[in-house]
Each structure stands twice: as structure tokens, then as C-alpha cells.
Amino acid sequence: MTYQAPLRDIMFNIEQLSAWPEAASAGACSAIDATEAQAVLEGFGRFCSDVVAPLSAAGGETGTRFDGAQVVMPEAYKEAYAHFAAMGWQSLAHPEEYGGMGLPRAVGAAAAEILNASDMSFGLCPLLTDGAVEALLLSGSEEQKRRYLEPMISGQWSGTMNLTEPQAGSDLGRVRCKAAPGPDGSYSVTGTKIFITYGDHGLTGNIIHLVLARVPGAPAGPKGLSLFIVPKFLVENDGSLGCRNDVRCVSIEHKLGVRASPTAVLEFDAATGFLVGEENRGLEYMFIMMRAARFAVGVQGVAVSDRAYQHALRYAQERQQGRPVDGSSRQAVPIVQHPDVRRMLLRMRALVEGGRALAMATAGWLDLAHRADAEAKREASDMAEFLVPLVKGGCTERSLEVTSLGLQVHGGMGFIEETGVAQFYRDARILPIYEGTTAIQANGLLGRQVLRNGGGTARRFSGIVLETERTLQSGSAKAQLFANRLGEARRAFDASLAWLLETAPHDPNAAYAGSVPFLMLAGNLAAGWQLGRSVLAAEAKLERGEDTAFMRQKIATAVFYAQHILVECGTESTRIIEGSESLFDAGLQI
């Protein structure tokens, strides 16, 4: 169950794809340079390999338990988290003003990948805290920022997101949790929330719950939700902890995967809460946290995929079985030499590197969305909003494929718990579900990012891809090969976009029947676009004689992606344009 952070590929993506220079010049991140960032990530990679990765097997086997009063975590998790917080790892991508390091989001995303590849159960606690910090930074009052942000950014306190209730899954308009205003400006919050990741755990001194609830007289539906800070322990004016608030964990869920991550049922019994922003704007504020969480979940998809790939590659290099099909040996050889095992391993690697490239580029757009220049900020924000669902939906769906392939590479041993690879698949299986299912991502992409503005952002995205395609056409033979496949994929995207824009106004059922295939097509194209940019960067470095072995492998992986994965965009386009009729004609009776 060893893990080695892929720092060479991570730094290549940060330096070549994440728009770091542009974000830095716009003041979106600190003045730290790439060499210093690499040193930070190297240190973090060692910490995760040595301290966090060993937790994975034991955490998956023993999980957490609820003793009727509190969640009991494995002792090793407590020790690991104490080291994590003491070393300041929670603070990497947060503002220096509140004790963070101010690093670009791409560095934060890289750290999140390394942490979650080491152990996704452990990584979920910092992930939710990052999202809560983001929500408070953008929506909290100055007093709330002063009171809560530094201890959260330091890792002393953690954060949660409380949306779901027993009767209200993804349909947040059905939320019933109530918040009654008090004479001192606080609110009394009452209700039950379920599926709360790290809702109780004992790793930190306090837990800052961000809770959606309704105030008296609020409009029905999602427009009547407000957002509240409900701390586990109330916080005094001097920052010290006060009395225990009236929020309790009443049980935890027993899950398929991420078993060492406690998923709690929380009961709020007239708990003291504090309004974030204005009443009835809670969903708007919570979407800030949800966007951050959705991006992070996509990064988790890349992370668990890379862990599965590393494990499968190591096994294939060591496992001796079968003679070569070309007759070159009469002895058994490592299975990595068999063509179909190579196909599976290269598909795994190409999907990992494509997902990582897309995530790093999206992190750059998210940084640029904080630029002071209003027009550039709007354009970057639009592109980031378009790409985040592709990272979340595409990378998480692909993680199921990659972890399944990793199991397949192991053959029968993959189905045996002792090899550890079944855990990667179990852990990955939650990723296309939480923080909004793939269908929710796809419907949002089609409805909000495509139809609402008449396809403007989607066409801009296609135009940027075309620019990369044209640059590739003037390059080497391999660059031109990649350009041809990228062009085919782009044209499949354009045709699907035109059909959806034409169909949705008069037949929304047909259009939305193609929303998930459209998300997968767009995500495939977006990852291919970034790998095309990688080819250009790698070829430029080869001309200068830099890191030739790595650059050649980078190009070879991208070409494999073009020939084996980008070509699937045409299939998705067929599903979108021609598939809706059979979907509604087929009966579903038992």
C-alpha cells in the first residue's frame, strides 16, 4: 500500500498549464516562485508517503465507530492529523492575511491530490475545511472572518457543510431545518442533517458547521434558505472556546468505502447559530463552498486513480505469468509485457494525466477569476464555471474506470482484500455521487453554463481548443497526429452543442437525456486540449535538451490519449444527437 507523489508530472502541469504567471501578476497569489512551491510539495509528499499513506489499509479495515456519545477515530488518525496541523499543511492555498501561505490554487490542488491519493478517508477532513474557509472568505462578515478563519486555516479547527436532510436529498428546496432569530442577533437552529462528512470526529478542538436553514416567514423552496455558522463549541470574543453548543452526533453511516471518514447524522436542538450575509441568500453563499468542494472532489478522482495506477503498475512489473505472444521467450514473463495489460496500464496513466492536466488548468482559471480587472475577471469566472463540472463529473466517473482496471490488472488477486486494490474501487465509488451526482453536474452544465447564455461560453471554449489545434498542426508529426484527433473531438463537441441549443427550447427531455454524455464529451475534449498543450510544452523542452526521458513519455502518453480516448468523443456525440428517441421508446416495466 505504498504511494509516491508524482511530483515531476505535478510540477510540469503547474508550470505549463495553470496560468501561474498570469495569476501572480494579477495579485491572485503570493510571490513565491515555482522552485519554492516544488520544495513545499516535496516536503508534503514525504509527509503523506510516510505518515498518511500507511493509514489507508488499516482505516479501510477498521473504520470509525460511534459509542453512543461520540465518534471514535482510529488512534493513528489522531496522531497523523496532529502532525498535519502542526506542520501547517492546511494553510497552503489560503490567504496570508489569515495565516495561510497564499500559494496558487494549482499548488493547493496538487497538495489535495497527494493527500487524497495517500488516504481519501483522511483527506476528506481538510477538503471540507477548505470549502468552509472559501465560503467565509467570500460571504462572511469581517467579525466572522476574524473569529473563525485563522484557527480553521491553521488546522486547529475543521469545517463542515450541512445541506442534506432525511426528506431532502439533492432537492434543497425541501429543507426543513429552522432558524429562529434571538434578541442578541444570534439564531436558534433546530433540525436534523444527514450525510455530514466529518460531522464529528475529535481530531480538532472545534468544528465549524455551515448550516442551511429557514428563518420564519422565508419564501418556500430554495430561495428561502439562509446560511448559518453553528460551532460545536461557541467561540468567545478573545478566540477561546466557550460552552458546548446544542448540536450532537446521533449516529454515523456504515459505508461501502472511505470507512475511516465519519459520515454523521447531526441533531441541532435550538443550537446557537450566526447568520452569514443576508437572510434568504444561503444557497447562493453555499454554492461558493459547493463549487470549491466539487472541484476538490474531481481532484480526489485523479488522486485515487493515480494510487490505483501506481499499485497496478508495480504489480504488473513484478507478477510473472504467461509466455510472450510473439514467441520471444519460452519462460513466463512479467505481465507488463503482455499487450492487453499494457493497454490497460496506459489507459489508466492517460486518464490520470489527462484529469490532472484539466484540474491544474481549471485551478488557474479559478485564480484568474479573482483578478481586479472586471472584464478579465468575468471571462475567467465564466470559463471556471464551465470547467468545474467537467473536473467533478468527468474525473470522478473516470476514477471508477481506472480503479476497476487496476483491479483487472491484478486478476483474481485484485478481488482479494489483502492486495488493497478493492479498497480503491470502493473509495472511488462515492465520488460521482457526493457534492452533486454526475447528472446534477451535467444538468447544471447544460442549463446554467450552456443554455442560459446561448452557448457563448461553450463556443469560447471550443475556440480556445481550436487555437491549440492549429498550433499543434504546425509542429512535429506526433503533434499533427494529436491535432487531427483533437479536431475530430472538437467537431463532435460543436455538433452536439448546436443540436442541444436547437432542441432544448422545444424538447427539453430530449436535450437533457444527453446531458451526461455531453459532460463526458466536454470533459474528454477539455482533458485532451490540456494534453495537447502538454505536447507543445514538452516538444519545446526537448528542443532545448531538457529532461528528455520525461518529455518523451509525456508526448507518448498524450498520443495514446488521442488515439484511444479522444476518439470516444464521436460516440458520445452519437448518443446525444441520435439516442434520445430510443431512451423514451423503451419501457421500464418489470
Check if the beta carbon of residue 18 is closer than 8 Å to that of residue 360: yes
Distance CA 7, CA 515 (A): 35
Q: Annotated catalytic residue: which of 165, 353, 435, 572?
A: 435
The torsion region of residue 547 among left (phi > 0), alpha (psi -120 to 50) and beta comes to left
The sign of the dihedral angle between the CA atoms of 300, 19, 552, 564 is positive
Residue 435 appears among annotated catalytic residues: yes
Spatial CA neighbour of 24 closest among 339, 291, 476, 371 = 371
Q: How far lies 417's CA from each of 58, 309, 406, 491, in Å?
A: 12, 17, 13, 44
User: What residues contact residue 501 under an 8 Å CB cut-off, 6+ apart?
Assistant: 450, 451, 454, 455
Q: Is 280 left (phi over 0), alpha (psi -120 to 50) or beta?
A: left
The distance of Cα 316 from the centroid of its chain, to the nearest Å, equals: 28
Name 405's Cβ contacts closer than 8 Å, sequence gap at least 6. Answer: 308, 312, 344, 347, 348
Start-end of H helices in 338-373: 339-368
Q: How far is 205 from 526, CA to CA, in rounded Å?
A: 41
Residue type, 588: L
Between helix 339-368 and helix 515-543 the angle, nearest 10°, is: 90
Q: Which three cell numbers stand for residue 11?
A: 510540477
Q: Write the Ramachandran bin of 238: left for phi over 0, alpha for psi from -120 to 50, otherwise beta.
A: alpha
173 Cβ neighbours under 8 A, 6+ residues apart: 220, 221, 222
C-alpha cell at 429: 465509488
DSSP 245: P
77 within 8 A of 59, measured Cβ to Cβ: yes
Q: How far apart are the first and last CA of the chain?
A: 44
What per-residue string of b and e applies to 560-573 under the rule 16 or more CB within 10 Å gives b? Answer: bbbeebbbebbebb
- Cβ–Cβ under 8 Å, residues 316 and 410: no
CA nearest neighbour of 257 among 304, 215, 290: 304
**Do residues 364 and 23 make contact, with C-beta atoms less than 8 angstroms apart?**
yes
Neighbours of 273 (CB within 10 A): 28
Which residues are the active-site residues? Answer: 435
